[in-house]
Homo-oligomer: A and B are copies of this chain.
Amino acid sequence: MAIVLAGGAGFIGSHLARHFLAQGRHVLVLDNLCRGRQEYLANCGGNLDFDQIDLADEKATLAAIAACHARHPISEIWHMAANSDILSGMEDPHVDLRDTFLTTFSLLQAMKKLGLGHIAFASSSAVYGEHGADVKIAEDTGPLLPISNYGAMKLASEALISAAAENFLKKAIIFRFPNVVGVPATHGVILDFVRKLKESPELLKVLGNGSQQKIYLHVADLVDAMLFINERAKDRLTVCNIGPDDAGCAVRFIAESVVQAISPAAAIEYGSADRGWVGDVPRFSYSVKRLENMGWTSPRTSSQAVAKAIEEIICQEHGL
C-alpha cells in the first residue's frame, strides 16, 4: 500500500520519506518546493514518486493522488506541508493561507472523493497561543487563541480535520509539535545563529532578550514518536502533543552554544523584548502525559536535542 507525503521534500517530510521507503513502502511525495528541496530525497532509493505541485490547488492535488491511487492503492496520507516561516506569515498571511491551510482543504477534498480515510497531520503547539509558563498545556487545554498566522492556520487545519473525522474519515491523527530541530535545516533559531556568525564572526545579534524558553525535539525523535502514535491510535480522531518532558531550553543557551562552537570570541547582543517577533510565544510549558501514557518517552531533553542539532547544522552550513 502506498503512502502520500504532502510536503515530503521538506525538513520533516523528507525524514518520513526515508523511513517509509526503507520499509519498502511505495511513497508519493507532493511538494511545491517553496521550502523543501528534491535533493533532500536524494539517494533514498526505493519506490519513490515525486510530483511538484501546489497542494493548495485542489484539482492538481486530486489528480496527483488519484493517479497514484490507481496504480498503488493508498493507505495513508501524511500531511507535513506548511509555511514553516512564522515571521514571514505575519508579514503576509497569504503564504500561511495557501501553504498551511488550503493544502489541508485540498487534501481532505481529495480524500473524500477517493474514499481515503487515514490522515496524519503535523500540527503545532502554536495552536495554543500564550498560556504563560505556569500552565502545563495539554491536548484538552483551552482557550485556543493563537498569536501567529502560522498557529491560526494550523488550528484552522485541525478544525477541518476534526469535522472531516465526524463526516467521512476513519482515522485522523493530529500531532502537535514543539520546536523541531535537526537537518536538513531550512529555518529556525539555530540555523539563523549559525548563518549570522558565519557572516559576521565577531557579533551575534539575538532577536528578543534571550529569555524565551521553548521545548525542542530532535527530528529523529519526532519521527519515531509520530510512527509510534500512528501505529497505536485507535480512535477516529487522536490529538497528541509530542515533546520531551522538560521545561525547555532558553534562547540564551542556544546563542551561547552556537557561539562556543563556531566563534568563541564573538560577543552576543540581545534585544530588549521578551519575544523575538510578533507572533513568537515567549515561554510555554507542555504536557506530554498522553504520549507517555501511550508508552513513548523522548530519549533526549530539549537541551540535548538543541546540542545535537547545533552540531548537525554547523556541518550542513559548512558543507561537512
The residue of chain B having its C-beta at the shortest distance from the C-beta of A156 within the complex is B156
Q: A184 at the A/B interface (Cβ < 8 Å)?
A: no
Given contacts A93-B109, A97-B105, A105-B97, contact A146 B167 (CB under 8 A): no
Closest to A108 in B: B93
Q: Which residue of B lies closest to A155 (CB)?
A: B159
Bitwise, A110-149 to B at CB < 8 A (1) or not (0) is 0000000000000000010100000000011111111111
B147, A163: Cβ atoms closer than 8 Å = yes
Given known contacts A142-B141, A156-B159, is B129 in contact with A148 (CB within 8 Å)? no
Assembly CA distance A105 to B101 (angstroms):
12
- The reply to whether A101 and B156 form a contact with Cβ atoms under 8 Å apart is yes
- Classify the interface of chain A: helix, strand, loop or mixed: helix
Q: Is A279 an interface residue (CB 8 A)?
A: yes
Asked whether A278 lies within 8 Å of B167 as measured between CB atoms, the reply is: yes
Q: A142 near B145 (CB under 8 angstroms)?
A: no
Q: CA A20 – CA B147 in complex, angstroms?
A: 31
Q: Complex: how many Å from CA A97 to CA B160?
A: 10
- Chain B residues, CB < 8 A from A146: 159, 162-163
Which residues of B are found within 8 Å of A166, using beta-carbon distances? 147-148, 278-279
Bound-state Cα–Cα, A156 to B102, Å? 12
The answer to whether A167 touches B90 (Cβ under 8 A) is yes
Assess whether A259 is interfacial by the CB under 8 Å rule: no
- A152: Cβ under 8 A from any B Cβ: yes
Q: Quick check: B152 and A160 within 8 Å, CB to CB?
A: yes
Q: Which of B144, B145, B159 contacts A152 (CB 8 A)?
A: B159
A144-174 residues at the B interface, CB under 8 angstroms: 144-149, 151-153, 155-156, 158-160, 162-163, 165-167
Chain B residues in 8 Å Cβ range of A141? 142-143
Contact (Cβ within 8 A) B239 A143: yes
Q: Does A12 contact B (CB under 8 A)?
A: no
Question: Does A237 belong to the interface (CB within 8 Å)?
Answer: yes
**Minimum CB distance partner of A278 in chain B:** B167
Q: Which residues of B contact A149 (CB under 8 A)?
A: 160, 163, 167
Whether A144 and B145, one on each chain, are in contact in the complex, defined by CB atoms closer than 8 angstroms, is no
Bound Cα distance A93, B165 (Å) = 14
Across the interface, name the chain B residue whose C-beta is closest to A137: B142
Q: A159, B151: Cβ atoms under 8 Å? A: yes
A-B contact pairs, 5 of them (CB 8 A): A90-B163, A93-B105, A93-B109, A147-B165, A152-B163
